[in-house]
Structure 1
Amino acid sequence: MYVSVIKPIILYAASVWAPAVKKIGVQKHLNTIQRGFAQKICKSYRTVSLHSALLLAGLIPLDLRVHEHADLYEAKRGRPILCLPDDRELERRVSFMTAEHPARDIEIGFSCLEDLEPATVEKYQLKGQLIFTDGSKIEGKVGAAISVWREGEERRAIKFKLERYCTVYQAELFALWKAVELVREGKERQTCIFSDSRSSLELLQNPKSSHPLGFAIKKNIEQIRNQGKDIRMFWIKAHVGIAGNERADELAKTAALHKRTLADYQECPLSYVKRMIRQNSLDQWQDRYTSGTTGGTTKIFLPDVREAYKIIRKIQPTSTAVQILTGHGGFGFYLHKFKCKDSPSCKCDPNANEDIIHLLTDCPRFGRERQDLEIEIGIKVTPENLKEIMKNVEKRQSFLEFGVTIAEKIIKENKT
């Protein structure tokens, strides 16, 4: 309900009214709306703070989401709010005014091949020049390559370098563009182009696609056909032993890792801008979360909002687990605040509050279970180590089982 109805309604025309979100009054209204839904999503008590509820529900504060939508809208218009790296240009979609009229749009199909055995070669009449294309992103670097074959031998290999922020999808399309350009400028009458990127080939089939590289590939294919040349496109499986495809993959990785020239393609994808916008939002959220006066117990378990999102997605906490992570539940210290219990003290010590941190890390009533857990996970259960325990998948699972067992026992005691 929140994702499909509430959020779209609130974010409607966000680019128009985004400046108003800086006002404290507007932020309070947005927080009121979001807090209720966040508490229901994570199954927490109504007293849980906004910071804790948002973190456990995996939601970004609404005012930051408003700014994200506004910044993304400006980026799509070609005016990104955040500076692009080294003043690079944003990869612009082709305007419908520039694109070909649908009635004159050329059809580009492709066939799917499992291998290039003699039977397949004969069936599909794979003659003339064979060009294999590939793109790769490795160690944060991006490369593309084409390998030209004829009569079972490689005749030419060309490597290309793309900027680090480019995607594999861009690299695959760029390699296809260069392959088609090679055919247009060459004298070969028959050419077969092979790519292991099905999404790139499907893009060429879509008449509504506005990707600039896809548009350039289509224009080149149209010119090739006008020259009377035959060009066909094929999708092949990656890493199944096809020599040309393996060679193109090797060349693309080599280009990414070792090519020292200026990048052959520098257009910044919209996905990079989205990532930078989200990074900025998370930085602001982290500052609020750290400096906020609420959600103290949650901060002990999950001090980092980025790590918290990854953890919460994996564990999908139950109602009892949420009580542990927030400290809001059937524990003496919490119940005493609302006059549901005469004393906040733990049974083990009148001077110790019966809160979840004490129960998990210090209460001698559960010393045996705690010791067994520490032997199992190889780390002492202390308030300082809880964040490290939550980061580790195996340790986290055992710790949560230990915590749920204790919480359920205490909650049952306090009900009587």
Structure 2
Amino acid sequence: MTAPANITIDPSLVDVYKDLHRHPELGFREHRTASIVADRLEAAGVEVTTGVGKTGVVGVLQNGDGPTIALRADIDALPVREDTGLDYASTVTATDDAGKSVPVGHACGHDLHTTCLLGAAAVLAANTRGWSGTLILVFQPAEELGAGAQAMVDDGLWDRFARPDVVMGQHVAPLPAGKIAGHPGASYAGSDSLRVRLVGRGAHGSMPEASVDPIVLAASTVLRLQTIVSREIPSTATAVLTVGSIHAGDAANVIPGAAEIQLNIRSYDEGVRRKILDGVERIVRGEAAASGAPDEPTVTEIERFPVVTNDADALGKTLETFAGWLGEGNILDPGAGAGSEDVGILATSCGAPLSYWLLGGADPSLFTTGDMTDPALLTVPSNHSPHYAPVIDPTLPIGVRALVHAARTWLGPGI
């Protein structure tokens, strides 16, 4: 069953989007964003609760008997300096948890997610004759930290509000605007980020024999870590191990006393994940022992995202509605992606199926085939790039309509 195509989009949403884009906020600091969300929901007649999971906002719209669905949008930004040249680009800086001043930008598109859900909430609140049930609007903080969904759950999200029969949401992606993509089953990788501290013995650069050089130790550790995926994980499994940061020392003629490595692991299977994590521990400790390190190294978890698993039936039902609206040719299967998300926690914590899809947000004129084989997918700016910014039209109106169509598919007949 499809929703009506003649959904009127509030033109002021463009200004809302530009304002959110211009004023990004880091995870658990989204006070201004949360205030805007709460004000817009209240103006639409939605019952609003703020401060859920620190800075999250929950809206509840009850409209008679029927199913309960949750629509989720994330609201936080990234420590990324925007370089898009847009007249509404962010120039915001903030102080991070380490006390360092960092640029902040909506390089992942959460401002668009937020605006689309606000638009959908207004449409559904103004047209209650077309559906029946309960709508839970979840504006989640700190997705980029992998902590916001769990924070809302820990704050009693499903105990304080109705437990949903399905959790749904969308993420803008560098696909052509006008396309929607979804993959059943394991759709987005689990992610583990680790900090490894290697302890050596510092010395003058002219006396290496007096040292245990942590830089050499770090170099050998990095090389050995790369053998976990290539030599210990079956070739039929999918996994990635990336060392994204190495830091040691501050001067050319001083051997420092310690080095730090930060690494990230992506996997889809718990057995594979566990094998990689065990391998990291073994290699780090083995290399430290081989180097004669005076102290044991430490391996600390920075953040973790579980695998996001789309329920095949729930996603299929949603995409079928989208196909009836946009056309079959505009619905893609992107396969399992290596990106990570914490939206799955919202579904697994209440035992509901998840229906989560990608919303095309790139200029369609940049593409040739417009499908998952298009070479432009490797060249258009992607999420987290300082150059990333979705095209507002048609991405924003399509994103609003997608959420409305999805909601009405589950909540009842169209008008």
TM-score bracket for this pair, using the shorter chain length: under 0.3
**TM-score, with length taken from structure 1:** 0.26
Work out which of the two has the higher radius of gyration on C-alpha atoms and give 1 or 2.
Answer: 1
Q: Which has the higher contact order (CA 8 A, sep 6+)?
A: 2
Between structures 1 and 2, the one with greater strand share: 2
